[in-house]
Amino acid sequence: MLETGVTQVELIVLIKERSSEGFNVLYKNYADALYGVINRIVLNTASAEDLLQDTFVKIWKNIDSYDECKGTFFTWMLNIARNTSIDLDHLRTKQFKNQKVTGSDEVLLFETGTGSRKSDSNTDAIGLRSAVDKMEDKYKEVINIIYFYGYTYEETAKLLDVPVGTVKTRARKALSLLRNTI
């Protein structure tokens, strides 16, 4: 059950019905988490706020494409936030132009692969990302949130609405599965 007393299934129905209540519940329960993910990718508060808005628009418009058989609702939203954040058009247009004027090297880190994206390519090079993608959803979700997005066990438990012990157990099991795979 979400903070507002609405279940996730009810929330999805409300969003599909284009209910303003549904949007309010969605925003109240997920804005902070999605903003945190976006801000860790773009490292710029103003851009993160813009991208958060873009993410909610995409969630709202594409709710019919959500398939619970492919993963949890939160993971689906995380992927939208992540993909929106690493959109090269966004990085090239807004950040690059703005930071070129201010002389910041932040965008150059993304462009040359020495920033956050380098870790993504390193995990791809050793097969970590593909190994994680092959896991059961409950393990994949925990690994993605904790290790790829940098959340604590407690934050992850709150996001997934499960006890902290469950998160720790899933993380240990996932790491064990990874050791046997890689």
Boundary (domain end) residue, out of 86, 118, 153: 86
Model pTM score = 0.53
Give the residue with greater pLDDT, 143 vs 97.
Answer: 143
**Residues 160-175, buried b or exposed e (16+ Cβ, 10 A)?**
beeeeeebeebbebbe
Domain containing residue 139: CATH number: 1.10.10.10
Number of structural domains the chain divides into: 2
CA distance 20 to 27: 11
Q: Do 132 and 78 fall within a single domain?
A: no
Residue 18 belongs to domain spanning: 1-86
Q: Do 78 and 145 fall within a single domain?
A: no
- Is pLDDT of 143 > 70? yes
Residue 19 lies in a domain: yes
Q: Do 159 and 80 fall within a single domain?
A: no
Q: Do 77 and 1 fall within a single domain?
A: yes
Q: Which residues contact 16 (CB under 8 A, 6 or more apart)?
A: 63, 64
pLDDT tens-digit series, residues 7-47:
888 999 999 999 999 999 999 989 998 998 888 877 778 88
pLDDT at 54: 92
> CA dist 22 to 11, 31, 161, Å?
6, 13, 19
pLDDT at 2: 67
- Is pLDDT of 154 > 50? yes
pLDDT tens-digit series, residues 57-111:
999 999 999 988 888 898 899 889 988 887 644 454 544 444 433 443 333 223 3
User: Given pLDDT bands bounded at 50, 70 and 90, which one contains residue 122?
Assistant: very low
CA distance 115 to 108: 8
Residue 150 lies in a domain: yes
Residue 157 lies in a domain: yes
- Is pLDDT of 181 > 80? no
